[in-house]
């Protein structure tokens, strides 16, 4: 299962067109334009999915991947670098998945030089999905996504927007400690911006200073890096004219 050479070796590259396309998708599916219970369809081209999955493989697995779509089928080749060991440096995977009315089914799965029987691969996938089903992140997806299909070189995802989705995503994606940390800095920034002595133009240094002072106070009893990350996140949203509620933090006192 371990090999000395990677099956896939690709750099991560985003072009201006890739970024523009992603922005158009986000604009089209802006939750502020949706009513609860609305069904929407998101279409992701095969090349866009390929770029995104390769980015994730590179970012989190020190590897690379390649995806190709044909009607009803998804072909995946991937390489993940593993810690030093006497057996080999890489785990290479080849998989061919077929669309079904439920979970996708394996047409082929090979890990390294080892072919995995389809029935065993399907059981492994079902077990993984059952395990995920016990997590908040997967449950949000399961309650939102209605169907996934592959056609015309694209993956089509039909989903239902629900008003409670932002709060559930906040709980699933942001640990309570981080959420509370962001809330504290957001409230400090909101208090600071309401000062009557501030002019029409405020420098970035002026915005950061009171938050970093608070971070210094809190770092004695907390993780200094986590405090600094929270400051950067809150300032970034403020500078771009967005409140933290724009993405994941439910009701905060604040600005933007």
Residue for token digits 């389809």? 118
Pairing of strands 2-3, 64-70: unpaired
- pLDDT beyond 90 at 180: no
pTM for this prediction: 0.54
Give the lowest-confidence range in 65-69, 141-145, 171-175, 234-238: 171-175
The mean pLDDT value for 164-190 works out to 68
CA distances to 150, 190, 242, 251 from 187, rounded to whole Å, are 45, 5, 14, 11
Q: What are the two backbone dihedrals, phi and then psi, of residue 147, each rounded to the nearest 5 degrees?
A: -160, 155
SS3 category, 134 = coil
SS3 category, 130 = helix
Q: What are the two backbone dihedrals, phi and then psi, of residue 20, each rounded to the nearest 5 degrees?
A: -65, -40
- pLDDT beyond 80 at 33: no
Contact (Cβ atoms closer than 8 angstroms) between residue 67 and residue 46: yes
Nearest to 94 by CA among 56, 129, 121: 121
HSE-CB for 118 with a 13 A CA cutoff: 8
- Residue 252 pLDDT class (50, 70, 90 cuts): very low
């Amino acid at each position: 299962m371990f090999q000395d050479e990677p099956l896939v070796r690709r750099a991560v590259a985003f072009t201006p067109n890739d970024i523009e396309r992603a922005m158009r998708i986000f604009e089209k599916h802006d939750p502020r334009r949706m009513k609860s219970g609305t069904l929407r369809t998101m279409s992701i081209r095969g090349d866009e999915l390929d770029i995104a999955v390769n980015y994730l493989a590179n970012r989190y697995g020190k590897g690379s991947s390649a995806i190709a779509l044909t009607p009803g089928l998804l072909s995946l080749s991937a390489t993940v670098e593993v810690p030093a060991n006497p057996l080999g440096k890489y785990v290479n995977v080849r998989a061919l998945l077929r669309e079904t009315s439920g979970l996708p089914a394996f047409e082929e799965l090979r890990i390294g030089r080892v072919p995995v029987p389809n029935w065993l691969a399907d059981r492994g996938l079902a077990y993984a999905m059952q395990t995920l089903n016990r997590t908040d992140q997967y449950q949000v997806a399961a309650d939102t996504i209605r169907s996934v299909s592959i056609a015309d070189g694209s993956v089509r995802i039909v989903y239902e927007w629900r008003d409670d989705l932002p709060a559930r995503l906040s709980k699933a994606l942001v640990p309570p400690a981080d959420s509370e940390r962001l809330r504290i800095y957001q409230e400090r920034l909101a208090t600071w911006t309401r000062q009557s002595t501030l002019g029409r133009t405020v420098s970035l240094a002026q915005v950061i200073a009171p938050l970093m002072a608070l971070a210094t106070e809190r770092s004695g009893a907390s993780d200094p890096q986590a405090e600094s990350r929270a400051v950067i996140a809150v300032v970034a949203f403020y500078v771009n004219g967005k409140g933290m509620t724009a993405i994941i933090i439910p009701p905060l006192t604040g600005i933007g």
